[in-house]
Structure 1
Amino acid sequence: MRAAIAIILLSVLPGALCAHHSRADYDTSAFVEMEGELASMRWIKPHQSFEFLVEGADGEIQSWNLEGSGVYSLERSGITEDLYPIGERVRIAGWQTRTRSRGFFLTHMLLPDGAELVLLPTANVDRRWSEDFSGGAWISEPTSSQDGSLFRTWSTESLDVFIQAGLGIEVELTEEAMAAKALASEFDPCVASGMPSAMVNPLPVQLSDHGDFIEIRLETFSVVRRVDMTNSVDAETVPLSKYGYSTGAWEGDVLEVRTTRVNWPWFDDAGTPQTDGVEILERFTQDDDAARLNYTMTVSDPASFVEPVTLAWQWIDIGERFSPHDLCEAE
């Protein structure tokens, strides 16, 4: 028996974008509003968290743990640390946890001055209370840099565009892969993913040319991939690793990167399995005006996938400062 599984890129976003706990832990079917004191805040990439004090029905003060979208994602939408009025009363909206006592995913906040913070970074989320609001969709102003090189820092234009790239794509699994998926454990957002899912994230990527090799750096978890441009090594002699062994070649103006020798067991962060026979072909192509970088990834693994799976999206240059991080507090 085989089954088709729809990929939604939101399900494979890294911990750097979302809350420390899985989004699946929250009841997103209904928004809940509360009022109370924003007692304290932790704002360190990749996560934000707050202590929120609420008076219960019995008059006792309850302490709630608020989480929300990642720091990078909020900063791209114009939300900065200084906007939060620590020590003051605010109204909040969001989703309660399904499994943990007094856990809450923060989506909106009404400030004492009547301004509103929209804390889900997509264009599909509206303000709730005020016409004076900040946040929402990402801010993307292309840089006027004359650097036409492939080798620079590239950014996702919007979270909505990134998610849309995965809608409608299907992975048809073999019977063996279906059985393995049924036994998959819950994804830990504080463990850096291997290939190919390491590349499937909306945070900045930086490419740099070192002659015999190219470095692909990901802001998430400070991942560094090395692409061998000499093709002088027998791949079979290279030890297996979570990022594998990558070789590159130029096909005209297109950079092609082929990766094998991967021992990361998951295709995505939703428990879709892959084997160490997986092969990943990436293509990096600039538009004619060099303002956009088109990216295509094709993943082949006959033991897991009935057919190769292809994902594609674009990056733009908005002049971001590359800021790798690997901070991820334990439970």
Structure 2
Amino acid sequence: MNRAEILLGLLLLPFAAIGHHSTAEYDRSVVMDFEGEVVRVLWRNPHVRLTIKTQRDDGSEEIWDLESGDVNSLDRRGIRRDLVHVGDTVRVAGNPSTRRELNLSVTNLLLPNGTELLVRGNRQPRWSTDYIGDGDWIIDESKSAEPEGIFRVWTAKGRIIPEFVSNPPLTESARAAYATYDRMVDDPALECIPTGMPRAMTSSGNVHPLEFVRADEDIHIHLEIFDIVRVIHMASDADPEQQPYSSLGYSVGHWEERTLVVTTTRINWPYFDLNPIPLQGVPQSEAVEMVERFTLSEDGNELVYDLTVSDPATFTEPVVAISLITWRWQPGVEVEPYECVVG
């Protein structure tokens, strides 16, 4: 690993950039600040949405659509759905869309009582010393079950950006397809379609935790994002090549001391995505094979994730990401329902 990779990797990506729904269309160099009346509240995943009515200088009305964070992350930071009501006059600040008129990614919202909501996480208050949602999760550690090795709830501590991301070793056909991908149009997650491998794993931890659960002889990985459940077959005699294709594939695991090694084939998810790492839309064939290594730290409180991917239709050589993600055990965190709804 070179120095540039290490420096990039030690930067934990901000919560505002994490998640399945692209925020790339919003111009972060421009901040708009205005007041208006709330005429609609849609409090559901993938993003809480508000509609605000404002007045232009000539007295005519203007209707703005606002998009904030997802329900789960807002709830964990104390921003509940009963704080914003239709009819409230609020002040908002955020970044305008470069594609849609009168559309704003809202970062700050000032309620009529003077309380400021930081609705995009890791943001600073703009107007008030009385604010909610500064990035820290509100956790009841008494809810935490006694941990047993890997079998607990994990959140992300950090991740690296692998060196191959800047220039992935793509085949000619894969590079051509990658060049035409538009993540604001082509991303299936925009329609609340649960993501497949490897994105299901790389999207987990920062905003949406994951949990390893014993299931008889097998292991289930519960991913909060899209309410996904992965099954890791630990003692099956079934031939993987005879299993049906799916977005998550067919996973077979075994233990190497403190490391759970999982080999996954039979994946028909169309994209090799490492979201939120900036590699999204690389085509992926059904010949892909992924080898994951989940290594538990000596004290049991951290889990390091390595990923090796081979796909002869996409890559001219296997791509390897060592220590791609480090998850940590955070007592009291639970995997909550996600329940994504389009619209």
* Shorter-chain TM-score tier: 0.7 to 0.9
For the residues of structure 1 that align with 2:17 and 2:59, how far apart are their CA atoms? 41
Residue among 308, 312, 315 paired with 2:319:
308
Match in the other structure for 1:156:
155
The 1:304–1:74 alpha-carbon spacing in structure 2 relative to 1, beyond 3 Å, is: same
Which structure 2 residue ranges, 5 or more long, are not aligned? 1-7
* Letter aligned with residue 135 of structure 2: A
Deviation at 1:323, TM superposition (A): 2.2
Deviation at 1:167, TM superposition (A): 3.6
* Letter aligned with residue 182 of structure 1: A
Residues 96-105 or 244-253, more deviating: 96-105
Contact 2:41 2:85 in 1 (8 A): no
Indicate yes or no: 2:130 matched with 1:132. Answer: yes
The 1:85–1:214 alpha-carbon spacing in structure 2 relative to 1, beyond 3 Å, is: same
Match in the other structure for 2:293:
283
Match in the other structure for 1:173:
169
Contact 1:292 1:316 in 2 (8 A): yes
Residues 95-104 or 27-36, more deviating: 95-104
Deviation at 1:302, TM superposition (A): 4.0
Match in the other structure for 1:88:
88
Deviation at 1:271, TM superposition (A): 0.8
* Letter aligned with residue 307 of structure 2: M
Deviation at 1:13, TM superposition (A): 4.4
* Letter aligned with residue 176 of structure 1: S
Match in the other structure for 1:25:
25
The 1:326–1:31 alpha-carbon spacing in structure 2 relative to 1, beyond 3 Å, is: same
Contact 1:296 1:313 in 2 (8 A): no
Residues 79-88 or 51-60, more deviating: 79-88
The 1:328–1:14 alpha-carbon spacing in structure 2 relative to 1, beyond 3 Å, is: farther
Aligned counterparts, 1:65-144, within 5 A:
65-122=65-122, 125-139=123-137, 143=141
Deviations 1:61-90 (A, max 9, x none): 222111111111222223222332542211
For the residues of structure 1 that align with 2:85 and 2:264, how far apart are their CA atoms? 48
Paired residue secondary structure (1:236): helix
Aligned counterparts, 1:225-244, within 5 A:
225-244=230-249
Deviation at 1:168, TM superposition (A): 5.5
For the residues of structure 2 that align with 1:296 and 1:140, how far apart are their CA atoms? 30
Aligned alpha-carbon RMSD (Å): 2.8
Match in the other structure for 2:224:
219
Contact 1:12 1:200 in 2 (8 A): no
Match in the other structure for 1:3:
none
For the residues of structure 1 that align with 2:84 and 2:289, how far apart are their CA atoms? 46
* Letter aligned with residue 36 of structure 2: G
Contact 2:36 2:55 in 1 (8 A): yes
Deviations 1:174-218 (A, max 9, x none): 233211201324213222111111111231212221233211121
For the residues of structure 2 that align with 1:204 and 1:12, how far apart are their CA atoms? 16
Match in the other structure for 1:250:
255
For the residues of structure 2 that align with 1:168 and 1:235, how far apart are their CA atoms? 29
Identity %: 35
Contact 1:181 1:271 in 2 (8 A): yes
Which structure 1 residue ranges, 5 or more long, are not aligned? 1-5
Deviation at 1:155, TM superposition (A): 3.5
Paired residues, number: 314
Paired residue secondary structure (1:44): coil
* Letter aligned with residue 257 of structure 1: V
* Letter aligned with residue 276 of structure 1: E
Paired residue secondary structure (1:180): helix
TM-score, normalised to structure 2, is 0.81
Match in the other structure for 1:48:
48
Residues 102-111 or 210-219, more deviating: 210-219
Residue among 268, 281, 284 paired with 1:274:
284
Deviation at 1:289, TM superposition (A): 3.0
Residue among 192, 195, 213 paired with 1:193:
195
Contact 1:150 1:207 in 2 (8 A): no
The 1:168–1:137 alpha-carbon spacing in structure 2 relative to 1, beyond 3 Å, is: farther
